[in-house]
Amino acid sequence: MSAPGAPKKSRRSHESIPDFKEDDVQPIDVFCVEPSDPSITKNELDYYLETFTVRAVWLSEEKALEVSSNDDAFYFVAVFRGRVFEHLKKIGVNIGGCLPRWDFPVYALNLTGACVCFTGLSLQKREELKVKTNYMNGVVSPSLTEKVTHLVTDYCDTEARRMGLPIMSPLWIDQAWEAAQAFSLENFVITATGVGGRERMDIARLIELNGGRFSGDMKRNECTHLIADKTRGVKFKKAREWNTIKIVRSSWLRKSVIAGYVLPERY
């Protein structure tokens, strides 16, 4: 009887660089707290975590309530309320939302941080501008309070001038909405190297919000861009070798979103 052949060595495709093989990112512990809300299933949370390439360990609410140390681990919860969320917030750990639930869909970030108030406009126009403001991640206040950042009106308001608020025409929101619709990362498949934790989640979220797709793995015939702030790592070297993936910095992504168009992809 002939001797059995030597075991075959596993071969990893050179066309795809797995995210978890990166040698320039410090690993972190990620825990996902099992939701007590019956309307939220683990399948939903698993899908969301997979979308953003997060590998998490499931944790029961009882175990989550036993967490007592503030370390570098991340704890993802389904909703930002309840005893588990309050406990984790109190001890100061890193908290992430696995299943963000907005009261309205967000299509762009053009009005992030803006709290607008309307006056002197018809109800129909107010509702139209409110929807656009919400779509651009802005907030609408029903009254003129200290939280308002902009007053939108067709005339000059004395109280707003006294408060030092910018007085904007309704056209300001209309033009911002037109710019938001013009900008899109559709057909962009973007991966990243050298970033982890909260920054990585922010980058993935920003890409997804603007119509693109974030990928943990870097596939040669699929990825269009690699975000790399440092000139090192397996992904960076392979992207240079393949010469088919555009290498950009994380600032390119943020500046493109703010500008409302894709900036030149220079490194």
Domains of the chain (ranges plus CATH)?
A: 30-96 (3.40.50.10190), 115-182 (3.40.50.10190), 189-259 (3.40.50.10190)
Q: Express each pLDDT in 23-48 by its tens digit.
A: 444 445 778 787 665 445 555 555 45
- Percent of the chain at pLDDT exceeding 90: 29
pLDDT of residue 222: 94
pLDDT at 4 over 50: no
Sheet holding 150-152, edge to edge: 139-141, 115-118, 150-152, 167-168
> Whole-number mean pLDDT of the chain?
78
Residue range 65-102, pLDDT digits in tens: 998 877 777 787 766 667 888 888 888 887 765 434 44
Which distant-in-sequence residues (6+ apart) come within 8 Å of 76 by Cβ? 30, 31, 32, 33, 45, 49, 54, 56, 95, 96, 97, 98
Q: What is the pTM of this model?
A: 0.46
Q: Tell me: the pLDDT tens digits for 150-186?
A: 999 998 877 778 888 899 999 999 998 887 777 789 8
CA triple 218-221-223, angle to 5 deg:
40
